Amino acid sequence: MSFLPFHPSRLGLIIPEDLLTGVYRPDRTFSFDGVIDWSAEDPTTVARHPVERGKRAVTDARLKADPRRMQATFLLTDTPEAESPYLPIAKPFTAPDRCVRRFADFERFAAANDPVTVSVPGKSRRRMAIGTVRDRPHPNGVGLLVDVQFEELRIVTLRTAQQIPDADLAAAGFGGGGASGSTFVEVGVFGGG
């Protein structure tokens, strides 16, 4: 995403995705009035066992054990620049307590538990889940600061694969492949979808 001042990401966009297809739902996008701060983390564990010298490190030297995380502080205000990211002009009138109503809208948005794409200036992350949400008054009294933690969803795809015959299971009467039992099982494949 862009760091340009009039880019839509400067507002902090949260775009729902369809869980099955990954297609964006732009008609349900939630936009804040600004992004105060954000940080992204890609946790990786470096293996503690010795590795042999070679041209490349062994494949398990860096382990992706935890999902990616992102934290952002958004602004909700009673006097936004505009409802459209392309019109940075002050609106002539806004109803009182707009930021409180917008926060209630965000709470309903988060309660839907949809996977989302988070778009802030300079970063965009797909397949995130909304985690902890914390709101607090802005120090200057201009609105609410909303701290949101996001965590990457690890989506798996189930597919049917042929079961490997197991003589011990067949002898115990639990099938085990072949003619006496089920020959197909469901296997989860990480990163599918």
Architecture (CATH level 2) of domain 8-154: Beta Barrel (2.40)
Judge whether residue 86 has pLDDT over 50: no
> Which of the four pLDDT bands, split at 50, 70 and 90, describes residue 90?
low
Closest listed residue to residue 114, CA positions, set 185, 24, 51: 24
* Amino acid 62: pLDDT: 74
Tell me how far apart the alpha carbons of residues 35 and 170 are, in angstroms, rounded to a whole number: 61
Q: In the chain, where are the structural domains located? A: 8-154, 157-190
Mean pLDDT (whole number) for 155-163:
69
Q: Which residues of 104-131 are buried (b: 16+ CB within 10 A; e: fewer)?
A: eebeebbeeebbbbbbbbebebebbbbe
pTM (two decimals): 0.70
